[in-house]
Structure 1
Amino acid sequence: MRKAIYTIFAIFLLSFSFKSIASAEISDIRVSGESRFETAVEISKAAFTESETVILSTAYNFPDALAGGSLAYKEDAPILLSAKDSLGKATKEEILRLQAKKAIILGSEGVVSEKVVKELNYIGVSVERIGGKDRFTTATMVAQKLDNPNTAIIAYGRNFPDALAVAPYAAKNGFPILLVEKDEIPKSTKEYLKNIENTIVVGGTSIISPKVMSELPDPERIYGVDRFQTNAKIIEKLQMDSFSSYISTGYNFADALTGSVLAAKNNAAMLLVKSNELPAPIHYVLNEKKFSEAIPLGGRAVVTDSVVQEITDLILNNSMETALPISADNTYTSHLISSKDADYYKLNVEKPGKMSFSMARNKTSDWYLHVYNSEGERLGYTEIDTGDGVHTFNLGLSKGMYYLKFEDSTGYNDYSNISERYTFDIDFDSVNTFEQEVNDSLSQATVIKTDTLVEGQLNLKSNSDIDYYKFNLSSPGKVELEFNQNKTSDWFVTVYDTKGNEIGYKEIESGSGAYHLDFGLNTGDHYIKVTDDTGYDDYDDSNDTYTFKLNYEKSDRFEKEINGTMETASTVKMDGNDYTGTIQGHTSKSDNDYYEFVLPEAGNVNVDFSRSGNADWNVYFYNSDGIEVGFYELESGTDSRYLMMGMPAGTLYMRVTDDTGYDDTEDYYEPYTFSATYEKSAFFEKEINNKHYQSTPLVFNQEYKGAIQSYTHSSADVDYYKLDVPANGTITIKMNREEYDDFKYTLYNEDLSRVTYGSVESGFSQYSREIVLEKGTYYLALADETGYDDYYDSFETYTFQVDFAQY
């Protein structure tokens, strides 16, 4: 019943299916010679550049040679053909080309005589003969040369088609091909089978009986109604993972025999055909199984172009819809059949990771490789130029289906690579440390972890590639972006907060070290963008791999970007412990780092700012109304600067920026360090007190501290104190002299008329002066005294008090 159904289906295919296919061009790749000897030589040339060993079989009879494919594959040797008493010119020249040192002859002297042995010896080739009293014994002797397999192929010993159809599979897996009679297992075969656990029987009951089947270890039968259907069944059962195929006549053993090693080396199936007709079973299996290519073995007399055309039409993979499935960790070979041809392959990625493509360069041919996602969006491409060595291309992919497209690269001084075969390897590493395309926007960003090395590359696309990465911080801290330099490539790196606001930017120039970019960041998601930096005397760095690592240190002692305004200022604990910040570079503006100091009551804030040996900063202070109350240019050095601010209760803001001036450089990503302390007291000046109406009220007989700040504007700081003299009497101004600082004071009455003034020069003693005053309100203004051989005493502190005695 099954046979009848199959026959009807075959007639249906022949009547209708063939007519619906639009013919494509076919390539001129054909492995053939003028004779079976020369075809065997051409097959050898296609598979081997050299070989220490050759397998030699008679050209005119099949029995001894049937089992030779597995041995040839094991020895990495071609199968060549010989006449009984002569090697023949073509075979001899091929042995010399291969520089072979040894020949293994299959069969007795009755099929390959001692004359051939002497001929081999004469050209420096030693000989080993494997031949028994009959074909069954010879097959067993060949099997004994293999590496103790647990599976054997069982074939009919009186004909060749089934054995040849399965030969590439047997060779690839190291399985011997053992021969049997229809109703009997020969003694030598039976003896060998004692060490075999499984058998695969090729052929139906008309050539291998159920009786023989019952005597085999754990047998499985693969068969069809004829040699072609058996061939198709072998492919369906055993070779659906084969990538390419070879076409051979099903009516002669020589081409398929010598081609079995070539097919095995390329993980290919053997398609047996009629000389001028594609058998229906082979047509059927080609509807189910696509091969990358189908290369005919032998001349057009044994496999016509019309048959090759039919097979080519069935296996076309020139679109995403007809793409040929491939998998990782495999090698694939094919060729373009015409100047307009493109080969498509599809790769199913089950886990995110890195796809690594490698392809041996060819000295005469070039190709383009394009990679697309399932939506047809090109993720990247690369040109495989002519030359030596191996071309590599990496691409990070997320889970999904992807398509690889090969096409001819024919450009200036180039030519078409049609019929030039290409071979490529696909490896896939399921890691989450390589970028995953498409990641061209914040919403598509590749998720990465801190303290892990990340790899990526900017791929060639229709537009410039952009790589985005996303990382999350569960606690505030410092993130050091350690971006490794490349000796030939340059990149731009930009960091963003969770809303896409730019935090920092840096050009990574070529070199051999690494850039270390520090960011103090808050909790939440943050993003990194990598783009190509192609500028003057530079070139496109596409397809060059870059690596970076995010070193994370959990701490609340770093600035928290974005802190570029008072509203986003990082809060500072005034406990004397260090804080660290960094002025980042930006694409369009300068970075500003704001900090806030919250004073629950009036008092003094002292900021200890550590200087750097090679960086300069500007430090600004503002009150809660945003009015500047101090400025300091922190030049490079090795010591610290103490910046004191007497303030009322409320919030004091500090802003740090880069100071880039004459003979200076931008100090981007140079970290700065400061600490802050707070001393609660009513007896400090309270900025802003630059005018009489802003005066700090003064209590007599009480020591006060203050500091003369500098400003970005031209006017210098003046500290006003208000004195309410209760009665006529004498005030005494007492002020500690400072070692390097000079101050001046002016006393005004309530009408702001100057009453007196004086200077307090640097020194070590205490300054004291008595002034007689009438009852009333007065204002004491303290300022910096900058004179000859002196310098600006910015943020230099002073200590003084005013005593009162009534008279």
Structure 2
Amino acid sequence: EVRRNRDFQEYTTRRLELVAANFDPRHNRWQVYLETEAPFDRQFPGVAIWRWIVSIDCGKYPWEISVYKEVSGERIAVTIPKWYVNQHVFSKTEASKGLNQWLIEKKWVTSPPEKVIIARNDLAVDSAAISAYASKTGDPIVLVSPDEIPKESRDFLISLPVRRALIVGGPEAVSPEVEMELKAMGFQVERIGGKDRFETAKLIAENLWGISDKAVIAPAPFEGDVSLTLVAVPYAHSLGAPLLFTNGDEIPEYTREALENLGVKETVVIGANVSEDLLLMGIYSDTIAGKDKYETSVLVANRLKERLHMRSVALINGEDPGAFNGAQVAALKDGVVLLVKDRELPEGVGEFLGKYKFKIRWIFFTGSIPPEVEREIIDVMKPRGTF
């Protein structure tokens, strides 16, 4: 709907076509040029230049519209807000704090959290295990060193209105010293943690989820890569199901016990080869796995695009994951997690971002992606016709 600013009485409706788009790095914004099917001066002859308002449903962020005269007709210049979170942030503690501050602005204004979740910042498994639950409740995940609370995390904790804290992991994951520090800050502290990552995930599933006929399973080997646990978080969120772990291609005893105690009948397995073992347990499994973890993250995202609104994506360095709570925030915004390499954007990830760039609203960086890869991601997200 297009209205004159002059009196807001006369209006018309026009179909708009994308002509070109341009990213303005100085002002951190996009300019998108749209063209109408017929010049406005045919309907309102004698008017040289008007300023118009175009009403577009884009949630909280209105688009500023300007109209100016061209020989071929009228063209509309639209300035669209930029929705990158943690752009140009290259510290995982700063990125983690930035993600939680974003949550304050977007979610907690209407529904403040009941508690804060504390997890270690040097290994992703505990954050991943709690993230599907935290994305449901909206409780922030604050990352700490095993033996101390970093300044950025401390500052954020002090700013919170809540004084309940749930520590995830045993004393080796988050030390008693950190627990004492939290209590000294005025927090009532609880802990949910086992002897290892597998028991911790089991306890989270049994105590916070209860009975569940579905579960998501991802590899979290003691010796090896655990980044697929973060890729699995949005899938667990979409199913409303707990996330459990394998030790590579083996199902640990704690995970077996959790599957039995929860009454799980169906599983989605991401990046692990355990379908035969699950079948022997009487559990159906749907395995999603590519040739490597990067392709696996794209396969998971493609599967989720049918289930979710695809409003967001968290970009995580597969070699150095950075701020683990990026997976929680992406899941909370009905999004996905994609893995990138330390020095390049994987081809499949780039193709996915390019294909769905007009659908994705929020892009979360997690503090460990090099500037050149970040720049490549932003370039891929530009619309066709960029100049």
TM-score (norm 2): 0.69
The correspondence for 2:277, drawn from 189, 194, 212, is: 212
Q: What letter matches 1:37 in structure 2? A: T
Query: 5+ residue gaps in structure 2?
Result: 1-19, 29-81
In structure 2, what is the Cα distance between the partners aligned to 1:35 and 1:43?
A: 12
In structure 1, what is the Cα distance between the partners aligned to 2:367 and 2:259?
A: 39
Q: What letter matches 1:305 in structure 2? A: E
In structure 2, what is the Cα distance between the partners aligned to 1:83 and 1:300?
A: 17
**For residue 282 of structure 1, what is the aligned residue in structure 2?**
349
In structure 1, what is the Cα distance between the partners aligned to 2:320 and 2:90?
A: 15
In structure 1, what is the Cα distance between the partners aligned to 2:274 and 2:367?
A: 36
Q: Residues 260 and 112 (structure 1 numbering): CA distance in 2 closer, same or farther, change over 3 Å?
A: same
**For residue 121 of structure 1, what is the aligned residue in structure 2?**
183
**For residue 128 of structure 2, what is the aligned residue in structure 1?**
66
In structure 1, what is the Cα distance between the partners aligned to 2:174 and 2:134?
A: 18
**For residue 163 of structure 2, what is the aligned residue in structure 1?**
101
In structure 1, what is the Cα distance between the partners aligned to 2:273 and 2:377?
A: 32
The runs of at least 4 aligned residues of structure 1 exceeding 4 Å deviation read: 21-28
**For residue 166 of structure 1, what is the aligned residue in structure 2?**
232
In structure 1, what is the Cα distance between the partners aligned to 2:253 and 2:138?
A: 30
Pairwise CA distance, 1:45: 0.5
Matches within 5 A, 1:606-755: none
Pairwise CA distance, 1:108: 0.8
Pairwise CA distance, 1:178: 0.5
Deviations 1:125-178 (A, max 9, x none): 111111111111111111121253321111112132222112123234422110
Pairwise CA distance, 1:183: 4.2
Q: Residues 67 and 317 (structure 1 numbering): CA distance in 2 closer, same or farther, change over 3 Å?
A: farther
RMSD across aligned positions (CA): 2.7
Q: Residues 233 and 120 (structure 1 numbering): CA distance in 2 closer, same or farther, change over 3 Å?
A: same
The correspondence for 2:215, drawn from 145, 152, 161, is: 152
In structure 2, what is the Cα distance between the partners aligned to 1:151 and 1:272?
A: 25
Pairwise CA distance, 1:306: 2.3
Equivalent residue of 1:84, what SS? coil
The correspondence for 2:205, drawn from 137, 143, 148, is: 143
**For residue 252 of structure 1, what is the aligned residue in structure 2?**
320
Structure richer in helix, relative to its length: 2
Q: What letter matches 2:132 in structure 1? A: S
Give the number of equivalent residue pairs: 294
Pairwise CA distance, 1:197: 1.7
The correspondence for 1:82, drawn from 144, 153, 157, is: 144
Equivalent residue of 1:254, what SS? coil
**For residue 263 of structure 1, what is the aligned residue in structure 2?**
330
Q: What letter matches 1:175 in structure 2? A: A
Percent of pairs identical after alignment?
27
Matches within 5 A, 1:5-84: 24-25=23-24, 27=28, 29-31=84-86, 33=89, 35-48=91-104, 49=108, 50-84=112-146
Pairwise CA distance, 1:34: 5.5
Pairwise CA distance, 1:198: 0.9
**For residue 385 of structure 1, what is the aligned residue in structure 2?**
none
Equivalent residue of 2:181, what SS? helix
Equivalent residue of 1:67, what SS? helix
In structure 2, what is the Cα distance between the partners aligned to 1:294 and 1:57?
A: 24
Pair 1:198 & 2:253 matched: no
Asked if structure 1 preserves the Cα contact closer than 8 Å seen for 2:228 and 2:293, the reply is yes
In structure 2, what is the Cα distance between the partners aligned to 1:209 and 1:24?
A: 46
Pairwise CA distance, 1:237: 1.2
TM-score (norm 1): 0.34
Pairwise CA distance, 1:294: 5.0
Pairwise CA distance, 1:44: 0.4
Deviations 1:731-764 (A, max 9, x none): xxxxxxxxxxxxxxxxxxxxxxxxxxxxxxxxxx
Pairwise CA distance, 1:284: 3.0
Deviations 1:619-645 (A, max 9, x none): xxxxxxxxxxxxxxxxxxxxxxxxxxx
**For residue 503 of structure 1, what is the aligned residue in structure 2?**
none
Asked if structure 1 preserves the Cα contact closer than 8 Å seen for 2:322 and 2:368, the reply is no
Pair 1:306 & 2:361 matched: no
In structure 2, what is the Cα distance between the partners aligned to 1:183 and 1:169?
A: 20
Q: What letter matches 1:174 in structure 2? A: G
Deviations 1:28-49 (A, max 9, x none): 6332656322211110000124
Equivalent residue of 1:278, what SS? coil
In structure 2, what is the Cα distance between the partners aligned to 1:220 and 1:40?
A: 32
**For residue 69 of structure 2, what is the aligned residue in structure 1?**
none
Asked if structure 2 preserves the Cα contact closer than 8 Å seen for 1:172 and 1:265, the reply is no
Q: What letter matches 1:96 in structure 2? A: I
Asked if structure 2 preserves the Cα contact closer than 8 Å seen for 1:85 and 1:116, the reply is yes
Pair 1:272 & 2:334 matched: no
Q: What letter matches 1:201 in structure 2? A: V
